[in-house]
Structure 1
Amino acid sequence: MNDYTNAIPLLSGGLLGPLALFALVSSITPGPNNVMLAASGLNFGFRRTLPHLLGVSIGFTLMILLVGAGLGALFQSSPILYTVLKYAGAAYLLYLAWKIARAGELSEGGRRAQPMTFLQAAAFQWVNPKAWVMAVGVAAAYIPASGFYINLLIGTLVCGIINLPSIGVWVLFGSSLRGLLRQPGAVRIFNGAMALLLVGSLYPVALDLARALAGN
């Protein structure tokens, strides 16, 4: 009963609406996940991209829960772990951008390319800088201290419900272009643009690195 009563600050204290808006804006705006989902929608279609889509949404939702439950405190006590993860994630994103730029219906040797799997997409959230910013932001700014854990569960559920259709829009966007971009050259241009957007999404990491180097 006490846990339920303590959940009131999130349910009726004016935080639920702002949390929902934060989840919508953060989920639907361009970022590594959405760029890759759009590219996958174009190259593989909506149905074959579903595992990727679900992996992103469920993986990110679980990340919010775990970060809020204390994983974020681990990185606060040992900043080097977060730094290593951040730059490893940036390197992995550059690799993914290179793969997207070269993507097409057929890979080298005539073998069909494969979309990202559910587990790959879920694991990717842990090296995605935008996902980290969102997860930490939810836990720090929108979960009240009173009844923290029950509120964390509620906030995680809200974010998960909003995230799935928001990122699904990007898959629909990519898959809707399959009928328009029939020529291999047009597909390459689209994939190249998505790869550039993915690289561009790393500008906060590049800015942090530039500041660190300047400080040294």
Structure 2
Amino acid sequence: MDTRHLILLCQDNRVPIELILAVATFGFVTSVTPGPNNTILFATGVNYGVKKALPFLFGIMLGLTVILTAIGLGLGVVFVTLPGVYEILKYLGFAYILFLGYSIIRSGYKPIDGNSKLFGLFEATIFQFVNPKVWVVMPSFMASFIPIGSSVEETIGLVAVFLALTFPGALAWAVFGGLLKNFMTEPKKRLIFNWIAGLLLVASMVPVLFMS
């Protein structure tokens, strides 16, 4: 689904331009606001530069694409009919966040070389499936912005808009981190930053534990 197809859908009055703009705004705002994914992108940029953060960013996009597809196929109903599934996912996600936070802190004690990195494509993709915040935002997006009775083409188009605007918002965090990389070359500064980033990553998930 490219821009030309979206324009044709708008011209046919099948997808109002106001809806496309709303989806684009929602995608950018949700991606640019602080959260676990952005904390990791920022920390990777600070420690290793923007290039090393790109695999994690692409993993985020891949994971979100699969999850949105699954929700579109009806997986979201599972959380409604079996609320215990979300509870299990919530605590599995928090356990994984603890591991990621520990990994960020631990990286502050290691020297940086050409092969150093925090997390890659696989870790990012898997993380989306156990990230409770994703399972809160994504079903909300599908329910709020995909009109009932939308065709497959219309749904794919709106999801594509959402993902297209999510990418630059998330990328901005990696770029911002990369801009601070030279400032963090001193081992003590880098260690302090990684402790703060690791603790903030864990703290960002604490409220989710109390969500029902």
- Both structures adopt the same fold (TM-score exceeding 0.5): yes
Q: Report if the CA contact (8 A) 1:55-1:121 is conserved.
A: yes
Candidates 60, 76, 82, aligned match of 1:78 = 82
Query: 2:190 is matched with which residue?
Result: 187
Q: Specify the code of the residue in structure 1 equivalent to 2:47.
A: N
Which portions of structure 1, spanning 4 or more consecutive aligned residues, are displaced by more than 6 angstroms?
Answer: 4-10
Q: Choose the corresponding residue for 2:153, options 139, 146, 150.
A: 150
- Which consecutive unaligned segments of at least 5 residues does structure 2 have? 1-7
Amino acid at match of 1:30: P
Cα distance in 1 between the residues matched to 2:22 and 2:188: 43
Q: What letter is aligned with 1:193? A: I
Q: Report the secondary structure of 2:76's partner residue.
A: helix
1:21 maps onto 2:22 in alignment:
no
Whether the 8 Å contact between 1:10 and 1:16 is mirrored in structure 2 is no
Distance 1:123 1:202, change over 3 A: same
Q: Is the aligned partner of 1:141 residue 2:144?
A: yes
User: How many Å separate the matches in 2 of 1:10 and 1:115?
Assistant: 44
Identity rate, percent: 34
Spell out the pairing of 1:1-216 with structure 2 (5 A cutoff).
11-12=15-16, 14-104=18-108, 106=110, 113-208=116-211
Unaligned 5+ runs, structure 1: none
Q: One-letter code of the match for 1:70?
A: G
CA distance in 2, matches of 1:145, 1:193: 44
Larger CA deviation: 45-54 vs 97-106: 97-106
CA shift in 2, pair 1:40/1:6, >3 Å: closer
Letter in 2 for 1:119: F
How much does 1:7 deviate? 11
Classify 1:169/1:105 alpha carbon distance in 2 versus 1 (closer, same or farther; 3 Å). Answer: farther
Q: What per-residue deviation string (whole Å, max 9, x for no partner) do you get for residues 131-165 of structure 1?
A: 22221111111100122533321121011111111
CA contact (8 A) 1:105 1:113 kept: no
Alpha-carbon separation, structure 2, partners of 1:164 and 1:48 = 16
Give the letter for the 2:203 counterpart: G
Inter-CA distance 53–5: structure 2 relative to 1 (3 Å threshold):
closer
Q: 1:8 to 1:198 in 2, by over 3 A?
A: farther
Compute the RMSD of aligned alpha carbons.
2.6
The two structures have a TM-score, normalised by structure 2, of 0.86
Give me the whole-angstrom Cα distance separating, in 1, the residues matched to 2:14 and 2:69.
16
Query: 1-side partners of 2:91 and 2:176: how far apart?
Result: 30
Deviation, 1:175, is: 1.3
Q: Kindly tell me: are residues 7 and 149 of structure 1, through their superposed partners in 2, closer, same or farther at Cα, counting changes over 3 Å?
A: farther
Count residues in correspondence.
204
Secondary structure in 2 matching 1:70: coil
Q: Which TM-score applies when normalising by structure 1?
A: 0.84
